[in-house]
Structure 1
């Protein structure tokens, strides 16, 4: 209907601007045109919300890592949403936490050497967050937690969990952080009901490498990368966030840093040898995580910690023939370039992002007869964009007519 109105305008004006020939219209013509344009704007307005509704419903339907749509499967490769709050610089408050947050003691999200993580809510806003409760026995432990706060203050990336607040008491330090409810990536790997494909592994590893790349750009070493320290944003999608910066250290190239902590299976040879650590130390752990995602096996795991560390020192690993039977050569090459004893020979995080295995996802999806969720979203966007572009000139004509009527009142006498 709007297009026919615009054609009428062009015919009546000989193809020139409305303002040049508007005086040839009768009041009735103008009233009819204005009515049709108002009605058309209402149709566009309703169409906009209909498109939004369809888009949101499609997101709900497709919000699974493997979703059949027709004869194809959709892999969720969309990036995670940022934290529901702006990045902030946090310092530990020496006031009761209960005055600001309600911790839910029965909703334990995780735990470890430090203590437990509980679900909590901010009293003033109702915002759902995670409270990491850390028991501190001495000054050294207290300084370690404050180091974690200092590290997290420097991090502002969608693949790294964000810090919201912190509290300090005589026996505890509590970190209030962004909440995600998808559980550990480790649990996703070992779940028998979850079908992990190589394309899923690519999507996971690309995000991990993006997060590590950002860390290293800030001159921060994580030093405890493992599947337990990678959280899924939700239980169905493929979005992840790296957590637990309790062992992270600021890297200063002129200061030779040595560490003697970490999880044995993921330790780099230089950590086992108590040698100097640097960016490649994290990249070794990235290689171990990749190996595990592709095979479900731990490449260096022995019967005890001593055997595990001996396997690491002697680079005693291979691609299990059965577990890697259907894994691509690109994926194997990616792992091989990370699990190298010599630090300087390992791929950097930036090098990983450029590796063939983490790129050309669309071609890989076609090869595996699956579709990427980002492609589906892009197609929906373009379809909606074409509709708006189709009606652009009608809306423009309406605006020009409105401006002319405001500037040139019509004398009906």
Structure 2
């Protein structure tokens, strides 16, 4: 067992050395490293559980790779304890962890914070204060990830109430605004009349207090605002001027918190690359070959990413070139962690080459084949439950569009790793997107043994996929099919007879009561029968299937939305404020009212480049992966907080989670506003990961350089507004994108000039003038890097609380 000898524990461990719930490490062959895991079962005596015969001395563990059964002869080399130092203080100490929790590196004896840092690495300290003052025995409220009961620093938020809507109402209705202003001035003890600019600070603070923010205006600029909005000869502002000033302040806050979001779709990132395939990718070993093409392992030269290239023969395939491209388009539309991701394609003379993410665990069919041949499944019920949960989550997402797969079967479900229960749904060649008025699929397709009864009536709906998933569940339970005519056919009968008889069984008979079904739980069998209900009106949809109690019986350990990830998404949402000139951060010349108010005709306007910046990070999140362990944890978070089982996060639900973490109501709404790029109240997988991983990705020069190359399609070393628009602009917002693009280059100009002045203040003036003329036309690689790598502000680590 190569790879184990160096890490083998000094003591030879056996099953009786472990306890249920203990944190351990398990060796993964496919990943060639130790993975954190939790003990789910210890079996010292031979027993039968979940329908399987378990030999004595076995241990069942759960890691990011899925469920793993470790038999007695492998325990000593496959499992190991989490190392603890004998010098740690007594476990009776406050905040002390359990017997095998990971402990703070500063030897304080407390458990580390759960989840990921903003750099997407596991925490190694218990809290921020301990990290800053090692050995001082000082700890903050968030120590060990605990979420103590405390009074909120801002007024409590009714999650059904939108502070954004309240703010919009104030700006729209003069009477509502005046009423709110009256209340703010009353709370500060000031009248709404004849006040100097010094006296206005406290009422303005009171005006913004319900939104959980401070005014933050410099004295000189507050004076300028008062002068702009009119003062009497004695320097005092009257009631009318005060109301106008209050509206200006609220308009600016609205503009800052909720800038215009230009639509971006990850489907738009999947394009034909017109450069030669071998110029961009290093071809690796052949992974497989079929009648219509070959699959290769490839390395993306610029980013270093390992991917897969599926080369499809145009002449040998039973699909036309147009159909092959349609399949790529279908995959591009489905942004979900359990749907295979396609990056780009190459349309060559003899091939269409698709570049996709790799899956090294083989087809789910391989697992079924082992059961069929040996009579013993190479998995347990927890594995089956996890696979079905992921499959149904993918279907829930697809069906919401509504998008019908039509050919769901074990051959079209890939395992991510050999040791993993993580899956990806593949093969969308027959898939169909329904239009709003469409009731049934326009054309029939699929694989006979997985077809539902209504297929033969030419009435395919999303419930057809549920039937196919039910057949897959039957495959996993028995190694056989629920509806299958005699094969080979009896004497005198041919394959046409077999097909006809199989169709009759699907339409009219109940599933075969295979003896192997008795090895599985009653709840598993109950869900199976519901999914194979011949009446598609009674058959549950994917979301209803996921509500079945079978899944709650195998609930995974809840992941933690950590302080680090919360810091990232909150900072990501504030990019629009941090990257623009607002009424609160510049002291403008007198008379520049339009710039000071940040408005046009009394209406809020958008920040200049937040959509461009966030759109670039959406591309980076789609194209490039962070560490696999971090990606697994982000995927667990995404699915855990998808409480509606829709395959995406509800913005309303996420808002509630963020408020629970200690964010104010407006801050939580800002995050949801920034993440929801399609303005539909739903946050997709890539929208979520873009916010969580931007801090890591923006420090990865290889990823940034590869993104630059994606925009620089003509390879001239420059990215223009047109280049950016071609990749980022959604069809619905072409004109809005065209207007926004110049702002990004203005921002790059400011960054470049600032950098140059720091290094050569006295010699740069001439170059700056030249650059100002050119910067609005293009950005080179250095400017592009600098733009993405600007230092960002993060909320303090002890101001937020981990959420499970």
TM-score, normalised relative to structure 1: 0.66
Taking a change above 3 Å as real, the CA distance of residues 61 and 195 of structure 1, as seen in their structure-2 partners, is farther
Alignment correspondent of 2:470: 287
Q: Distance in 2 between matches of 1:223 and 1:347?
A: 17
SS in 2 for 1:343: coil
SS in 2 for 1:224: coil
Alignment correspondent of 1:184: 363
SS in 1 for 2:287: strand
Taking a change above 3 Å as real, the CA distance of residues 171 and 280 of structure 1, as seen in their structure-2 partners, is same
Taking a change above 3 Å as real, the CA distance of residues 183 and 139 of structure 1, as seen in their structure-2 partners, is closer
Taking a change above 3 Å as real, the CA distance of residues 293 and 64 of structure 1, as seen in their structure-2 partners, is farther
Deviation readout 1:348-396 (Å, 9 max, x if unpaired): 000011011122325xxxxxxxxx6x47x88xx9xxxxxxxxxxxxxxx
Deviation readout 1:213-251 (Å, 9 max, x if unpaired): 111123211111101111111101211111111111112
Q: After TM superposition, give the deviation of residue 171 of structure 1 in Å.
A: 2.8
1:276 to 436, 459, 464: 459
User: 1:92 aligned to 2:272?
Assistant: yes
- Partners of 1:258 and 1:276 within 8 A in 2: no
Q: Distance in 2 between matches of 1:223 and 1:334?
A: 21
Q: Mean alpha-carbon deviation: is it higher for 131-140 or for 215-224?
A: 131-140
Q: Distance in 2 between matches of 1:235 and 1:197?
A: 15
Taking a change above 3 Å as real, the CA distance of residues 292 and 219 of structure 1, as seen in their structure-2 partners, is same
User: 1:116 aligned to 2:291?
Assistant: no
Q: Distance in 2 between matches of 1:325 and 1:359?
A: 21
Q: After TM superposition, give the deviation of residue 114 of structure 1 in Å.
A: 4.2
SS in 1 for 2:544: helix
2:522 to 323, 329, 337: 329
* RMSD of aligned alpha carbons: 3.3
Taking a change above 3 Å as real, the CA distance of residues 150 and 194 of structure 1, as seen in their structure-2 partners, is same
Q: Distance in 1 between matches of 2:456 and 2:339?
A: 27
1:135 to 300, 313, 326: 313
SS in 2 for 1:323: helix
SS in 2 for 1:345: coil
Q: Distance in 2 between matches of 1:58 and 1:133?
A: 34
Deviation readout 1:285-326 (Å, 9 max, x if unpaired): 011011111122111233243332232122342321x21122
- Partners of 1:117 and 1:133 within 8 A in 2: yes
- Partners of 1:119 and 1:129 within 8 A in 2: yes
Alignment correspondent of 2:350: 171
User: 1:345 aligned to 2:538?
Assistant: yes
SS in 2 for 1:291: helix
Q: After TM superposition, give the deviation of residue 78 of structure 1 in Å.
A: 6.7
Alignment correspondent of 2:548: 355
- Partners of 1:64 and 1:237 within 8 A in 2: no
Alignment of 1:7-406 (within 5 A): 60-61=33-34, 72-76=59-63, 89-104=269-284, 106-109=285-288, 111=290, 114-137=292-315, 141-191=320-370, 192=374, 195-255=378-438, 256-273=440-457, 275-302=458-485, 303=487, 304-320=498-514, 322-362=515-555, 374=557
- Partners of 1:212 and 1:349 within 8 A in 2: yes
- Partners of 2:36 and 2:64 within 8 A in 1: no
Q: Distance in 2 between matches of 1:184 and 1:64?
A: 25
Q: Mean alpha-carbon deviation: is it higher for 137-146 or for 56-65?
A: 56-65
Q: Distance in 2 between matches of 1:298 and 1:64?
A: 35
Gaps of 5+ in 2: 1-22, 45-58, 68-264, 488-497, 564-804
- Partners of 1:167 and 1:173 within 8 A in 2: yes
- Partners of 1:91 and 1:149 within 8 A in 2: no
Q: After TM superposition, give the deviation of residue 271 of structure 1 in Å.
A: 2.2
Taking a change above 3 Å as real, the CA distance of residues 328 and 130 of structure 1, as seen in their structure-2 partners, is same
Taking a change above 3 Å as real, the CA distance of residues 268 and 310 of structure 1, as seen in their structure-2 partners, is same
Q: Distance in 1 between matches of 2:369 and 2:319?
A: 36
Taking a change above 3 Å as real, the CA distance of residues 159 and 124 of structure 1, as seen in their structure-2 partners, is same
Deviation readout 1:29-55 (Å, 9 max, x if unpaired): xxxxxxxxxxxxxxxxxxxxxxxxx98
Q: After TM superposition, give the deviation of residue 110 of structure 1 in Å.
A: 5.8
- Partners of 2:392 and 2:546 within 8 A in 1: yes
Q: After TM superposition, give the deviation of residue 155 of structure 1 in Å.
A: 1.5
- Partners of 1:66 and 1:75 within 8 A in 2: yes
- Partners of 1:120 and 1:129 within 8 A in 2: yes
Taking a change above 3 Å as real, the CA distance of residues 146 and 251 of structure 1, as seen in their structure-2 partners, is same
Q: After TM superposition, give the deviation of residue 95 of structure 1 in Å.
A: 3.7
- Partners of 1:224 and 1:247 within 8 A in 2: yes
Q: After TM superposition, give the deviation of residue 254 of structure 1 in Å.
A: 2.0
Q: Distance in 1 between matches of 2:426 and 2:345?
A: 16
Aligned residue pairs total 306
Higher RCO (CA-CA < 8 Å; seq separation 6+): 1
Q: After TM superposition, give the deviation of residue 125 of structure 1 in Å.
A: 2.6
Q: Distance in 2 between matches of 1:213 and 1:245?
A: 16
Q: After TM superposition, give the deviation of residue 156 of structure 1 in Å.
A: 1.4
Q: After TM superposition, give the deviation of residue 152 of structure 1 in Å.
A: 1.6
Deviation readout 1:315-347 (Å, 9 max, x if unpaired): 342321x21122222111111111122222211
Q: Distance in 2 between matches of 1:120 and 1:288?
A: 34
Taking a change above 3 Å as real, the CA distance of residues 266 and 313 of structure 1, as seen in their structure-2 partners, is same
SS in 1 for 2:367: helix
TM-score, normalised relative to structure 2: 0.35
Alignment correspondent of 1:366: none
